[in-house]
């Protein structure tokens, strides 16, 4: 039986909803629908003490990035923005002038 308590216990023990779905012989959609029918989200059922720490997440992400091929490294931007892009630059004097003209026109 798929009760709130059994589902929560399964989510705490498992690493993915797919594992939980297999355990209950149901689809992911059924699991998510049941959780929503209780007015909850998946995060509400997860035990924060059991989940991965930020360090574990960063470590796993680094492992995944190491497995990328050179072409994947070129396609995927990790960290900052691509070098050729820069945020728009405005001169402070221009902005002050525009702000003053707008405030004068509204009076």
Query: Against a cut of 0.95, is the pTM above it?
Result: no
Task: Out of 3-7, 17-21, 44-48, 69-73, pick the least confident.
Answer: 44-48
Render pLDDT for 25-65 as a digit per residue (tens, 0 to 9). 888 788 888 888 888 777 776 666 666 677 877 888 888 88
Q: Please state, in angstroms and as integers, the Cα–Cα distance from residue 76 to each residue in 73, 79, 80, following that order.
A: 5, 10, 11
- pLDDT recorded at residue 51: 65
Tally Cβ neighbours within 10 Å of residue 20. Answer: 23
Cα gap 75→41, rounded to integer Å: 33
Q: Do residues 15 and 9 lie in contact, with contact meaning Cβ atoms separated by under 8 Å? A: no
CA angle, 82 as apex, 76 and 86 as ends, to 5°? 155
């Amino acid at each position: 039986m798929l009760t709130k308590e059994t589902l929560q216990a399964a989510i705490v023990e498992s690493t993915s909803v797919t594992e939980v779905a297999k355990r209950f012989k149901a689809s992911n959609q059924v699991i998510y629908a049941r959780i929503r029918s209780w007015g909850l989200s998946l995060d509400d059922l997860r035990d924060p003490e059991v989940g991965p720490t930020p360090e574990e997440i960063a470590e796993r992400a680094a492992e995944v990035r190491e497995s990328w091929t050179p072409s994947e490294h070129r396609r995927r931007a990790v960290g900052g923005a691509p070098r050729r892009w820069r945020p728009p630059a405005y001169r402070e004097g221009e902005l002050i002038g525009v702000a003053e003209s707008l405030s004068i026109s509204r009076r």
